[in-house]
Amino acid sequence: MQTGEDIKQVIIIRMDIEMSKGKTVAQGCHASLMSYFVAERADKAIAKEWLEEGEKKIVLKVSDEEALEKLYKAFQFKKVPCALVSDAGLTQLPPGTKTALGVGPWRSSEIDQFTKGFKLL
């Protein structure tokens, strides 16, 4: 069942902490999977359509933890499926460091309300 709307997932990565490229990619992957599972519970049809249409993803950067948490709270308030990644602290970062935010897959129009001003990573 096609919704007729553009569906995407957005991954937002903090840029104020030092992470290797591999660590950055791993945190983005955590955000993607975690938010996918939240989105699938919220609306199976949207999640299925996203999978069938090639899993469109956009990766953006955010300046700091405060900005990341503000986005997280805004998406939660609007009931847009999302997941905030807190690092386990086993390698490069202290435990609990918030590194990334996954949003969707969800309707692009609802995601873009909060992300249109952010730059691509």
**Which pTM value belongs to this model?**
0.94
Report the distance separating Cα 64 and Cα 29, nearest Å: 19
The CATH class, in words, for 7-115 is alpha beta
Question: Residue ranges of the domains in the chain?
Answer: 7-115
pLDDT tens track for 3-62? 678 999 999 999 999 999 999 999 999 999 999 999 999 999 999 999 999 999 999 999
Token code pair at residue 34? 């975690």
pLDDT tens track for 89-107? 888 898 999 999 999 999 9
Report the distance separating Cα 120 and Cα 79, nearest Å: 24
Tokens 């999640």 -> residue: 47
